Structure 1
Amino acid sequence: MHVKRFAAAKPYDAPNHRGVVGLRLQGFEPGGPANQWVGLSQFLPGGGAGPDSTPFEKVYVVIEGEMTVIVGGQEIVLGRYDSCTIAPGEIREIVNRRNDVCTMLVVIPYPPGVKP
């Protein structure tokens, strides 16, 4: 078992993100997960990411607030405990259109060739 306390989580900057603070909860460390990493993202009102894509899938889980996810011109609003999977290469944009912070868990596989 690998335990990492919330107080030990380190911030990270995600490319093409705005109005967000990301904390790495698990991953990229000895003894941590072998296949993916887990982040906690806190999006301020108006904060978001994209539009862009990655070569690997990602999973978003809204913990608090709401997040609008835009894929292929379709907009879906995710609320508390709602989740979605973004496929590899799928262009997405996410936007917090509310006046409170949106907190999301993000699960992403390691990029090819990267091992913790």
Structure 2
Amino acid sequence: MGMQVTRLADAEPFDPPGHRGVGPVRLQNAPSAGVTVTLSHYLPGGEAEMAPQPADTVYVVLTGELVMISEGTEETLLPYDSVRFTTGTERQVVNRTHLPASMLVIRRGNR
């Protein structure tokens, strides 16, 4: 198959462990390409608890702002800011604002 379109209305929602106030949907799951792409919506106060990354992962904030915490450092990401975590890196993601935030999660592998 050369082109695979996933409409947002058809994207598969899921409930990852350690996430509260987060609504992710899987946009692409392409094991043969070795990548997954997820759209995650963080409600105010929503968070992904501190946990090791299972694979190299890139986060791209689309709307709002999210705080990334890793190795004693905090960085606030705004729209179109991105961060990459290598496999095994401990990270936490928190929405400390009163508005929702959305980001793309691009991960190597099919998780």
Deviations 1:46-95 (CA, angstroms, capped at 9, x unpaired): 10112011231111000000000011111000000000001111111110
Q: Hey, what does 1:91 align to over in structure 2? A: 90
2:107 alignment partner in structure 1: 108
Aligned to 1:17: 19
Structure 2 residue matching 1:27: 3-state secondary structure: strand
By percentage of residues, which structure has more strand? 2
Q: How well do the aligned residues superpose, as a CA RMSD in angstroms? A: 1.6
Contact 2:53 2:85 (8 Å CA) reproduced: no
3-state SS in 2 of match to 1:81: coil
CA positional deviation for 1:38: 0.4
Query: TM-score when scaled to structure 2?
Result: 0.91
Gaps of 5+ in 2: none
Task: Give the unaligned 5+ runs of structure 1.
Answer: none
Structure 2 contact 6–27 (Cα < 8 Å) conserved = yes
Tell me the TM-score normalised to structure 1 length. Answer: 0.88
2:61 equivalent to 1:62: yes
Paired residues, number:
109
Where does structure 1 differ by over 3 angstroms across 4 or more consecutive aligned residues?
none
